[in-house]
Amino acid sequence: MKKEDIPMGFGIALAMDPQAIQAFSALPESRQREIIDGTHAVSSKEEMRRYVEKIAHTG
């Protein structure tokens, strides 16, 4: 997956959570795409932070 495929708000939130970066990077590309698609339903910074935090714990 290319860096430019990651929405900016998601990328910023991901960069603030090293555990989430590791978890996200370890996922197959198909799962990464599902997660990125899910970001389109996120409507606030706080919600994005929680979304990214969830990735760190559940993948």
| Residue 12 located in a structural domain | yes
Could you give the number of structural domains in the chain?
Answer: 1
Q: Encode pLDDT of 3-57 as tens digits.
A: 668 999 999 999 999 999 999 999 999 999 999 999 999 999 999 999 999 998 8
Instruction: Tell me if 1 is assigned to some domain.
Output: no
Give Cα separations from 28 to 6, 34, 44, 46 (angstroms): 15, 10, 26, 26
Domain that holds residue 13: 7-58
> Would 24 be classed as within a structural domain?
yes
In a domain, 2, yes or no: no
Tell me, yes or no, whether 49 lies in a domain: yes
